Structure 1
């Protein structure tokens, strides 16, 4: 699989460029450096940037040089955040800072057996992926853990029902197995159906954060996502309002902005908001309407024992129940995936 190109850095090395502006915003303007939410936001941003395979100049990375220099002390004092700390340090070195600490951090994490302290297979997979970036430990997909990950993504029935935790675990398993597009994830055939079912739920719900993650995961798995889904994701990203407002709540929509932009860029589409103002940025989505997922579920609930798992039989009943906006979204969802009838069979939960 060829390398995925994500959030391409600007051609100029001027620190006022878009990429430098983002790094400065997340490093020093949104949150206090080092708290867990700061770690999460910076790990996500740098993870997307590092996936380009490109390198940034040191001036662009300057706001994070102190964190990089102190990363080993940070790991000693806060080992519970080792995945965030390790991810940020490795990405900074891959992006252009000197490779002074990443390998040593990986060695410390491996010797301390921190992966063994994880209860979640997904977190173990992430830890494995991070260590493999410096050649340590098994591959993500090796052994019993790899088999459990593949068994999970292959159980498509799980993903015909709304379950956000399972949905995000599905997409992240694909990210880790593919090393964010650097290798073929070698997914089982049923995993594509799981992604299709998750994408249908997200599209019906107009959940652009999840839909963007599904589109990205499909492309990392070598599958072309639905054009309707990618159109919706790109339109969402273009519609964002990004404003410098230090007094506004930090519980904003930055993650959706980041992943919709990432998914749009993977698909070769222009991102919105090329110009970013100075100041502590806040990201605000412009969502309209409720989608079709809840009205569809309400229709099935109202039908009770009369509902059927046969979409052909249920289609006229459902469409007549929905309002105009939900009606249009459902029709678009039906056209968007060859697996819609199988998805509906699971979603309907009809008695045999």
Structure 2
């Protein structure tokens, strides 16, 4: 049964990838403006790899944020990729083997120009959380010349940095590396390694491992690593989608080389967008105002009057008299005949007839 379900999931993922081949890029990356990926796609077209779905998605890259200082927390390590500056694609260069890499000197020159023209720059960032795209604004502080080194290490090709440290470190990396995640589906073994380590089903995603052992990705890579560490401790880096945080955990792998939980990987198990991100991107939702309903208010209800006491005479309640007038409004106010008169004929006798002689 499990094998049939796994094959169905794999078939579904293959069909999704087949539909995405028409757009040449995975849907996960299509939030990036095409102009920012134009140089990379043009290079792929020259090499003939643009029509290959897997090759195109493996080649599209960005500057992955690896470390962030405290004053630059608008960027997130591991998840964020810088794909442009001020709406301009990252300048690239290629080596003799045709491998593309960012031209860091050209990027520094772009940031130097921003330092001289206002001191701020816009970083175009793609996030692995749901494959979303956003702009991050950073302030470029001019570098203190009095603290510069006596020996200039710049050249014609290296203009030198005119601004202080930006507070983060990056590495050129393919965007597809952000999809190398493993979703915790359920805990299979009571008091097993996954349970003892505190893994949470459905909420947790394993995004990294000690010594970078999960960097290359693969559906069976985590399984192979766990088996190779049987009877040992293994440090995993886990992302929780509810708290939107990453925590390291130490798993004591048993002698059987099992983690004790079900794990999903692939298209259906990528990290989703943080709650509220998608709704803000789509704009405010339309509000629906229902038509007013007509209803007749129920007559007011009043508490029953307290029983009369023979010991003490109570004064009449003025509010009771007011309500009496309310209920008698519109009625015939003419006096009614007394009980004695009602017992006799209520018709008046005709007047006597007098004759005139």
Q: What TM-score range do you get, normalising by the shorter chain?
A: under 0.3
Higher helix proportion (structure 1 or 2): 1
TM-score (norm 1): 0.21
Higher strand proportion (structure 1 or 2): 2
TM-score (norm 2): 0.21
Flag the structure with more relative contact order, 1 or 2, with Cα contacts below 8 A and sequence separation at least 6: 1
